[in-house]
Amino acid sequence: MAPDKLVYMANQIATFFTSKPHAEGVEGVAGHISEFWEPRMRKQLFDMIESGQEGFHPLVIEAAPSIRKVKQPA
User: Would 54 be classed as within a structural domain?
Assistant: yes
User: Would 73 be classed as within a structural domain?
Assistant: no
User: Would 27 be classed as within a structural domain?
Assistant: yes
DSSP string across 25-67: HHHHHHHHHHHHS-HHHHHHHHHHHHTT-S---HHHHHHGGGS
User: Would 57 be classed as within a structural domain?
Assistant: yes
User: Would 71 be classed as within a structural domain?
Assistant: no
| Inter-residue long-range contacts of 41-47, CB under 8 Å, 24+ positions, other chains counted | 41/1, 41/6, 42/67, 42/68, 42/69, 42/70, 43/70, 44/1, 44/3, 44/6, 45/6, 45/10, 46/70
User: Would 72 be classed as within a structural domain?
Assistant: no
Q: How many domains does the chain have?
A: 1
Domain limits at 17?
Answer: 3-66
Per-residue pLDDT of the chain (74 residues; tens, 9 = 90+): 999 999 999 999 999 999 999 999 999 999 999 999 999 999 999 999 999 999 999 999 999 999 999 887 66
pLDDT at 73: 67
User: Would 60 be classed as within a structural domain?
Assistant: yes
**pTM listed for this prediction:** 0.92
User: Would 37 be classed as within a structural domain?
Assistant: yes
pLDDT at 29: 98
